[in-house]
Amino acid sequence: MGIMKGKKGLVVGVANERSIAWGIAQALHREGAELAFTYLNDSLKKRVKPLAEGIGSKLVLPCDVGSDDDIKEVYKELEKEWGGLDFLVHSVAFANKDELKGAFYNTSRDGFALALDISAYSLVAMTREALPLMEGRNASIITLTYYGAEKVIPNYNVMGVGKAALETSVRYLAADLGSLGHRINAISAGPVRTLAAAGIGDFRKIQRVNELRTPMQRLVTLEEIGNTALYLCSDHSTGMTGEVMHVDCGFHAMALSVQEAQQLSSKD
């Protein structure tokens, strides 16, 4: 117990108690990590602050990851308060809602740039600005991705392209960070009913397909994603970097569900 004792980390992407970032924060806190949080805007501050305080975190800072100034300000504060950083949890994505449905070719130039800026470039900027604080600490960085980066998930559209850029950024960043002693990995999570997911029209259908197609015949839990994040942030995973780990009850391993295959063979 207490495998994160003495480690300090920043968690970016809590909106409420259902956020994947919050599931991750709880696992890290359970193992003794000291955490700082950021929030996007004032309406989310009201949600994030009490959650953070509930686990003894006093550092709750504003940050729009689309702003270099905001990012620099966060690390300035962490430098002042902590003087170092052992891990970073990046759990942020955004695309215009009207571009998460219909034909992908209708994605606008601005919508494409926005989705890739917030969902992929933000990891690059947050990593770069964290480096002075991480110096000599063998730090770990994690981000959250989705299967729509690898294969077409209808309507995921520009977010799929953004997640592909994010996953590739993880590999290029891993190459940069290795000689500094730091690591960076991604968790490819199965569908979880969060605020970001609630905004999606056919999310229930996506969850239903996952329950039918996964080897485990169920959906992944926030706790399971949190425990995997804990592993990647901890010194139990010091041999891993540049990896995309699927925490999806095995969905990525299937092309057809077992039931679909049985239905096909029974018709022979």
Active site residues: 146, 156
The residues, any chain, with a CB within 8 Å of residue 121's CB and separated by 6 or more, are: 169
φ, ψ for residue 245, nearest 5 deg: -95, 130
Which of the choices ligand NAD, ligand 0WE, none does residue 13 contact, using the CB cut-off of 5 to 8 A by kind? ligand NAD
- Interface pattern 177-196 for ligand 0WE (x via CB under 6 A): --------------x----x
Identify which range of 20-28, 148-156, 224-232, 259-267 contacts ligand 0WE by CB under 6 A: 148-156
Asked whether position 199 contacts ligand 0WE by CB under 6 A, the answer is yes
Name the minimum Å distance from CB 242 to ligand 0WE: 21
d(CA 87, CA 33): 10
To ligand NAD, the closest distance from the beta carbon of 15 in angstroms equals 3
Decide if residue 146 touches ligand 0WE (CB under 6 A).
Answer: yes
Q: C-alpha distances in angstroms, 15 versus 118, 216, 237?
A: 15, 29, 27
Helix (H, G, I), strand (E, B) or coil at 143: strand
Under the binding rule (CB under 6 A), the answer on residue 37 touching ligand NAD is no
Count CB atoms within 10 A of the CB of residue 151: 10
- For residues 136 and 132, what is the distance between their CA atoms, to the nearest angstrom? 9
Q: Of 87-95, 176-184, 228-236, 251-259, which segment contacts ligand NAD by CB under 6 A?
A: 87-95
From CA 16, how far away is CA 2, in angstroms rounded?
25
Candidates 26, 91, 234, 241; binder of ligand NAD (CB under 6 A) is: 91
| 169, 123 contact by CB (below 8 A) | yes
Residue 66 makes contact with ligand NAD by CB under 6 A: yes
Least separation in angstroms between CB 246 and ligand NAD = 10
Q: Which residues 6+ apart lie within 8 Å of 108 measured at CB?
A: 96, 99
Q: Which residue from 82, 94, 104, 121 is in contact with ligand NAD, where contact means CB under 6 A?
A: 94
Please give the structure tokens belonging to residue 159. 């977010």
Applying CB under 6 A, which residues contact ligand 0WE? Answer: 93-95, 97, 100, 146, 153, 155-156, 159, 191, 196-197, 199-200, 206
